[in-house]
Amino acid sequence: MNVRPLDPRLLRYAVSARWFLATGAVLGVATTASILAFAWLITKCITGAIEGQSLGDLLPFIGMLAAVALLRALLVYAQDLVAARGAARVKSELRLGVLDAVRRLGPAFLAEKNSARVATLLGRGMDALDDYFSKYLPQLILTVIVTPIVVLVVLLSDWLSAVFILVTLPLIPIFMILIGWATQAVQRRQWTVLGDLSSGFVDTLGGLATLKIFGRESRQVKRMRSITTFYRIETMRVLRVSFLSSFALELAASLSVALVAVSIGLRLVDGSLGLTVGLFVLLLAPEAFLPLRQVGANFHAAAEGVAAAEDAFTILDDARSLPAVESQTATDARGVSAGVLSVDHVTVDYGAGAVAAPVTAEFRPHELTVIAGPSGTGKSSLLAAILGFAPFSGSVRFANRPVPCSADERGWLAWTGQRPSLSVGTVSENVALGSDAVDHGLVRRALDLAAAPEIDPDLAVGVAGAGLSGGQAQRVALARAIYRTLDRRSAVLLLDEPTSALDHGTEARLLDGLRIVAESGVAVIVVSHRQAVINRADALVSLSSRTVVAA
């Protein structure tokens, strides 16, 4: 496993990290100056007292010593303040970056990576960066600045002590690398188990009703107990490695300083070294080892944040590797003019081979077009390609222009997937999701067109649509897509299996509403295998494993 003190991707994806490092460097130089001044002033005060200088003669040095001590305290406070603000800014930038990357990667990515793991990364994972910025990086900066300067000053003062320091100093990085490998290994396992615990808990809650029906809920209790026990074991392993490594680093640094002290003491006794130089070097020797020792000790506190940051960088790298799409829009986000949506030899490929046959079709305004076909023929994948959520070959064009993938340029499009994906709030808030303000009249209109006039817009909805039946949740999600279509005057409305949870009567009312939407100049595209939906279509695109037939 590669141990890197500072991942360069942090500077790429979090601009505030550059500000943090630059400010830390300035504070590091000031801290180095205060360390040297503090050691020199203490030496002057002690040697002056030994030589018999009066208190009046020493008072200026004592005053300067107090000022330097106050300066060091202020520098420590400034470092903590910069670290706290830097951590907050970087966490915010990384969170927003990961959220934007997930949006660009689309639902297929979330299905593969597990949304619970991503949620854990954005929550607990990003918060773990606090220790990385408040403890690890400040000490890393001090090590790069303080240690070389202090060693240089010692070398100029007493070359023999500098030799002892230079010989023993590399022992600490060697121990850090060896211990770092073990720490990252156990920390990565702990982070993986935490992800398993989060996703397992979410999956269990989502399928609790089914588990109760089949009498298998007790097995999930045992499974969750097993995962939590495993997480506890991995956490204790991390703590054990942390304590042992801290002991090893402290021992190595203490022995190194002891060698310098013994050398100085022997030379002070035989008179080959002056007291002023010996005391000055003896005071500086621990300062040469302290930053490096603290880096090793604080690495364990930051290890969880480092593991989470690696996962965040992986997501950001995946989004960055997406092919650039020509940024053209048919019109602006509002008032989108009518246009034909065309797909030409589109084949989706998730990396395991092409999904279904190449699709060539046109979807015209004022028409209700149904995409039909057996399961596995690529109906939902075709919608994902149009939405920009799936990698594909061929071309997708709207109003004879390439379809952009940026969310800011999708004003011409509204859609809803197979899952309602409702959030906590009222029905109105869910229907108007994404709008600057809720238009209550438009919410009621969207609910009516979605065959849901009986649903109270002020009804509170829980997590994942709790408080609504499956059919009601589906219709609220449909109303949200219709609301966007009416509010932004979108030219295309995409619906994936919109009637799968509806009875025949409700399905007929919904199709009446979609007909009204289509007649307003919208190209309504519905993925469905239900015959009632196919019978109401103005145009039909039939998909199979080999051919695509547009009728």
Max mean pLDDT range (40-44, 245-249, 358-362): 40-44
72-85 confidence digits (pLDDT tens):
899 989 988 888 88
The answer to whether residue 393 scores a pLDDT higher than 90 is no
pLDDT in tens, 526-542: 998 888 999 999 999 88
Three-state secondary-structure class, residue 423: coil
pLDDT at 192 over 50: yes
Comparing 524 with 258, the larger pLDDT belongs to 524
* Domains, the chain, with CATH or none: 9-320 (1.20.1560.10), 341-550 (3.40.50.300)
According to DSSP, residue 458 is labeled T
Task: State the Cα–Cα distance between residues 242 and 239, nearest whole angstrom.
Answer: 5
Q: What is the pLDDT of residues 204-255, one digit of tens each?
A: 766 666 667 677 767 777 777 777 887 788 778 777 776 776 677 777 777 8
Using alpha carbons, select from 297, 21, 13 the residue that is nearest to residue 135. 297
What residue type is 261 in one-letter code? Answer: A
- Give the pLDDT score at 272: 83
266 — pLDDT class (breaks 50, 70, 90): confident
pLDDT on residue 303? 67
CA dist list (Å): 327 to 97, 103, 393, 414: 20, 17, 18, 19
Give the lowest-confidence range in 111-120, 444-453, 470-479, 516-525. 111-120
Tokens (6 digits) for 169: 């100093």
**pLDDT (mean) for 410-430:** 84
**pLDDT at 366 exceeding the cut of 80:** yes
266 in Cβ contact with 291 (< 8 Å):
no
Could you give the CA distance from residue 90 to residue 19 in angstroms, rounded to a whole number? 10
Residue 489 φ/ψ region, left for φ over 0, alpha for ψ in the -120 to 50 degree band, beta for the rest: left
Phi, psi of 486 (to 5 degrees): -75, -40
Q: Output the pLDDT for position 301.
A: 63
